[in-house]
């Protein structure tokens, strides 16, 4: 059975491996550790049979907004609703703290993630030229939670 829970120290390597495999940008070990130490409630993993198969990392901003920094599911566990469940937990966290806007950046070439966020009711609210280290562009996508 799959479960979603807060990240623990021993999950950090598995999470970094998923990030390396699935995300556009490379993130340092220090960055993961910083989020782990400073925002543990915003860093959730999906675990199945003792294995980490996905995670979401968010951060509250400006007292009104939750930013999704990273969301990734391991290859063969995609399209099984796990990304949806991680997002929904993050939205629950946002609602509890009265953060009514969820925002994220996604690469313009990342069709699967754009399809996912469209499916979740996010709308494109901006284009960021040269956002990524390799010069690639990003879309800003936003969803307003019902107040």
Ligand X SMILES: CC(C)(COP(=O)(O)OP(=O)(O)OC[C@H]1O[C@@H](n2cnc3c(N)ncnc32)[C@H](O)[C@@H]1OP(=O)(O)O)[C@@H](O)C(=O)NCCC(=O)NCCS
CB nearer ligand X, residue 53 or residue 99? 53
Nearest residue to ligand X, by Cβ distance, number only? 83
Told to check if 100 binds ligand X by CB under 6 A, we report no
Which residue in 41, 81, 92, 121 binds ligand X (CB under 6 A)? 81
73 touches ligand X (CB under 6 A): yes
Q: List, as own/partner pairs, every contact residues 4-7 make where C-beta atoms lie below 8 angstroms and the sequence separation is at least 24, other chains included.
A: 4/44, 4/45, 4/46, 4/47, 4/85, 4/86, 4/89, 5/44, 5/45, 5/47, 6/40, 6/41, 6/43, 6/44, 6/45, 7/36, 7/40, 7/43, 7/44, 7/45, 7/55
Residue with smaller CB distance to ligand X, 72 or 102: 72
The smaller minimum CB distance to ligand X, of residues 14 and 23, is found at: 23
139 binding ligand X? (CB under 6 A): no
């Amino acid at each position: 059975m799959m479960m979603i829970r807060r990240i623990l120290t021993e999950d950090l390597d598995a999470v970094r491996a998923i990030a390396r495999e699935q995300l556009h940008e490379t993130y340092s070990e220090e960055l993961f550790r910083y989020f782990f130490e400073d925002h543990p409630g915003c860093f959730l993993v999906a675990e199945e049979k003792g294995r980490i198969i996905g995670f979401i990392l968010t951060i509250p901003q400006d007292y009104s907004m939750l930013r999704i920094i990273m969301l990734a599911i391991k290859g063969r566990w995609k399209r099984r609703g796990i990304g949806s469940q991680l997002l929904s937990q993050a939205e629950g966290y946002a609602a509890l703290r009265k953060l009514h806007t969820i925002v994220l950046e996604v690469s313009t070439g990342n069709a699967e993630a754009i399809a996912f966020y469209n499916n979740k009711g996010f709308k494109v609210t901006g284009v960021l030229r040269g956002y990524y280290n390799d010069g690639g562009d990003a879309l800003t996508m936003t969803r307003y939670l019902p107040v």
